[in-house]
Chains A and B, each alone.
Chain A
Amino acid sequence: MKTSILKLLLTAACLLSWQMAISAEPLRIAISVPGPGAASYYPIELISRIGADKAEGAEVRVVFSPGGPDALNQMLNNNTDFAVTGLPAAMSLRLTDERLVAIAAVNDLPLYALMVRQALKNEVKSIADLKGRTLGLHSNSVSNKSTSQQVLELLFRRGGVPPGSYRIVGIGRRWESEALMLKTGAVDAVIGDEPHATHMAAEKIAFPLVHLGNPEMARLYAGAGFLRGALIARSDKLEKDSGKTELMVRILKRTLAWISNHTAEEFANAMAITDPDDRQKLIAILKKYPRQYSKDGAFSSRQLRETEIFFIDSQAGNELAQNFRINSMINDRWVGRRD
C-alpha cells in the first residue's frame, strides 16, 4: 500500500516537473523572410543576435524563402507564425486570402535594382533594350506576385516593354543563385535588391540599369516609396490569441530601436560577418541609406498611400487590385500610425 502511494506521488511529481519545464521554456516564434542575406530583412536576422527575443522571453527562429510569396505561404501553411515581406507581395496574396494582415513596418526604403549582366554593357542602354530577353525574379507564381515582380512589370511597362514580351525565370534570392544565373548567361538581367546589387556591380557580374534607392530615379515612378518590408500575421490566429503577436511586435520594436541607436559598424559586428570585404560593403550600404529601417514599427499614412498607388499602378488590368484598399489589411493596434 505504502509503495503504491509513493509511486503515485512520484508519478505526480514527475508530471508536475515536466509541465513546469515545458511552461518555463521560451515561447518559440518562427518567422519566414526572403533571403538569406537581404538587407531589407536584416532586422529579422538581427533579432536573436542581439538577444531581443530572449529579453522578451521568446526564441525567434528565422526560416528563409526564395521570395515574398513563398515566405507568406510558409506562414499560411503553419511552418512559421509570421512573415516579413514587401507589403505589395502581401497585398497581392491578400486579394485571394483575407487572412493576411500587416501589423508593423520594418523596412521603409525600397532598394530594388535592375541589374543587367556585364557582357551586355554595350548592348543594353535602356529598359527597351531588354525586350525579348530573359529576366530573373524572386517569384514562383502567376497569381501571387512578389514585390520584385511588381517592380519589374512597372519599370518595363513605363519603359515601353509590356508584360509577355520578355522571358522570366524564378531564381530565388540567394546570392549564389543570382550570381550564377548571370555569370552563365542563363538570365540577362535580375531584379534584385541590396546588398546583392552592390556586390554584383563590385564584382563586375552585372551593372545597374535602374536603382530605386537613387532618389532622382525613384521620382520617375509613382509610389516608388512604398513600404518595402512589413510584419505580416494571420487574422484567424490573431482572433484566437493575440498574445504571440503582441510579443512579436515588442521584439521587433526592441530590435528597430537597437538599430536606430547603434552605428553601422556595430550593426555589422552584431551580424557577425566574418569576410572583411562583405563587412565593408554592408557598412557602406547602411551608411548610404540611413533611413532604410523603420525606427519604431509605426505605419505612415503617407507611405501606405504610396504603397496603394504603386500596387494599383503595377497591377494594371487586374480588377481586384484596382479596387483593393490598403487599409483593409492594416492592423496598427500595437505600433500606431503617423502623418
Chain B
Amino acid sequence: MLRIHANNLPTLRLVGLILLILLCLVVEGIWVKELANSKARSVHLSSAREHYAVVLAELDRRWGQEAFNLKTRIESQNILDDPKGRNEQLQTFLISQGSSIEFPSLRIEKTTGEVIAAYDYTNHANPKVTLLPGQLSTWVRSAADGNLYFVIRQFIWLGKENGYLLLFKPLDHSLLTQTTYPGTRLSLWWKGDATASSDGEDGLRSLATRLQKPEISKTSLVLMWPGPVSDNTPKLLVEILSDELLETGDIVKPMVFLLLLIVTLAIGFSALNLEIAGRAKETTEDD
C-alpha cells in the first residue's frame, strides 16, 4: 500500500502541478489548432467564393460578348444572304477562324425551327434544345458526350428574313480545369448530376462515391450560375483541398518546449526551496 510521507508532499504537489500544466497546455494547443484551422478554412472559403463568383460572372459576360461579335461578323459579311451558297460560305468563314471562336458548335435555323446551316469545330454537338419565344439562353445536356451545354439564341438576318443563330458552349472538364486554382477542386452539377470535374473523369468517379448532391460544408461551398435561378440553373461545387494551417506536429513541438521549460523552472525552484529550508533548519539547530 502506498504510504504518503509528509516529506514527499512537496514533490507530489510539484508533480500534480506539472500534470495540471500539461493538461492545460494540451487543451490550449487543441483549441488554438482548431481555432486557427477553422479561421484559415473560413478565410479560404470566403476568398474562393469571392473569386469564383467573379469568374462565373466574367465567363457569362465574355460568352455574351463573343456571341454578339460572331453574329455581327457573319451578318456584316452577308454570308447568309444567298440561300444556295450560304452553308458553304459559312463553313469556309468559320473553318478559317480556327479555334478562335468561343463556341465550337453552332446552328442557324429559320424561325420555324428548320435548320439551314450548321458548323462543328470538333465533335458534332446536336442536343435537343427547347427555347420559349423571347428566351435568349438555356442549358441542355448532350446524351452523346455527356457534356452540359450553355446555349445562346439570337436573331440573325438571313438576307430577306430573320432566323436564329444558336451557339453551343460545352462546360466540360477542360473548362473547369482551366478555371480552378491550386488548393481547390471544382465540379459542375445540373439537375442532381455531376457533369464535369476539374479532376476529369477520375474526379467524376470519385464524386460518385462521395456525394449524391452538391453540399455546403466546412470545406465546400456551392455557387449558382449567374442569371435567373431555376431548377435548370447549374451549380458549381467548390471544394477546398489545401492542408490544414496547423498540423498536430506543429503544436506539439512548442508545447513540449514550454513543458520542459516549466518543469526545469519548477525543479529549480523546488531545489532552491529545499536548500533554503535546509539552511533555515541548520540555523535553527545552531541556535
Q: Measuring CB to CB, which residues of chain A are less than 8 angstroms from any residue of chain B? A: 19, 22, 28-30, 63-66, 70, 73-74, 77-81, 140, 169-172, 176-177, 180-181, 184, 186, 244
The reply on B7 being an interface residue by CB < 8 A is: no
**In the complex, A66→B92 CA distance in Å?**
15
Q: Using a CB-CB cutoff of 8 Å, which residues 94-139 of chain B contact chain A?
A: 95-96, 98-99, 121-123
**Please, which residues of chain A bring their CB within 8 A of the CB of B123?**
63-64
Nearest A residue to B145, CB-CB: A63
13 contacts between A and B (CB under 8 A): A30-B200, A66-B99, A78-B173, A78-B199, A78-B200, A78-B203, A176-B91, A180-B92, A181-B92, A181-B95, A186-B95, A186-B96, A244-B202
A74 to B177, CA, bound (A): 10
The answer to whether B200 and A170 have CB atoms under 8 Å apart is: no
Q: Which residues 60-105 of B have a CB within 8 angstroms of A?
A: 88, 91-92, 95-96, 98-99
Q: Which of A28, A64, A77 contacts B205 (CB 8 A)?
A: A28
* Cβ of B208 under 8 Å from chain A: yes
> Within 8 Å CB of A78, what residues of B?
173-174, 176-177, 197-201, 203
Given contacts A63-B145, A176-B91, 19 further A-B contacts (CB under 8 A): A22-B205, A28-B205, A63-B122, A63-B123, A64-B122, A74-B174, A77-B177, A78-B203, A79-B172, A80-B200, A81-B202, A140-B98, A171-B95, A171-B96, A172-B122, A177-B91, A180-B88, A184-B88, A244-B202
Main SS at interface, chain B: helix
Nearest B residue to A74 via CB reads B174
Interface string of B171-182 (1 = CB under 8 A from A): 011101110000
**Which residues of chain A are within 8 angstroms of B98 by Cβ–Cβ distance?**
140, 169-170
Contacts A77-B177, A77-B178 given: A180-B122 contact, CB under 8 Å? Answer: no
* B200 and A81 form a contact (CB under 8 A): yes
* A to B contact number (C-beta, < 8 Å): 73
Report if B209 contacts A (CB, 8 A).
yes
Asked if B99 and A77 make an inter-chain contact with CB atoms under 8 angstroms apart, the answer reads no
Q: How far is the CA of A86 from the CA of B238 in the complex (A)?
A: 36
Q: Is the CB of B122 within 8 A of A65?
A: yes
Q: How far is the CA of A120 from the CA of B23 in the complex (A)?
A: 91
A22–B199 alpha-carbon span in the complex (Å): 18
Residue of A nearest to B204 (CB): A28
- For B128-166 the 0/1 string (1 means CB < 8 A from A) is 000000000000000001000000000000000000000
Most buried by B among A19, A30, A79: A79
Determine which residue in B199, B202, B208 has the highest number of CB atoms from chain A within 10 A of its CB, and name it: B202
A29 to chain B, nearest CB (A): 8
- Return A11 CB to nearest CB of chain B, in Å: 12
Q: Assess whether A22 is in contact with B178, with CB atoms less than 8 Å apart.
A: no
Within the assembled complex, what's the spacing in Å between the Cα atoms of A81 and B173?
A: 11
With A77-B174, A81-B200 in contact, do A169 and B96 touch (Cβ < 8 Å)? yes
Q: Which residues of A are found within 8 Å of B99, using beta-carbon distances?
A: 66, 70, 140, 170
Q: What is the CB-to-nearest-CB distance from A23 to chain B, in angstroms, rounded to a whole number?
A: 8
- Please list the 10 inter-chain residue pairs (A to B) with the smallest Cβ-Cβ separation, ordered nearest first: A78-B200, A77-B174, A170-B98, A78-B173, A79-B174, A78-B177, A140-B99, A77-B177, A79-B173, A140-B98
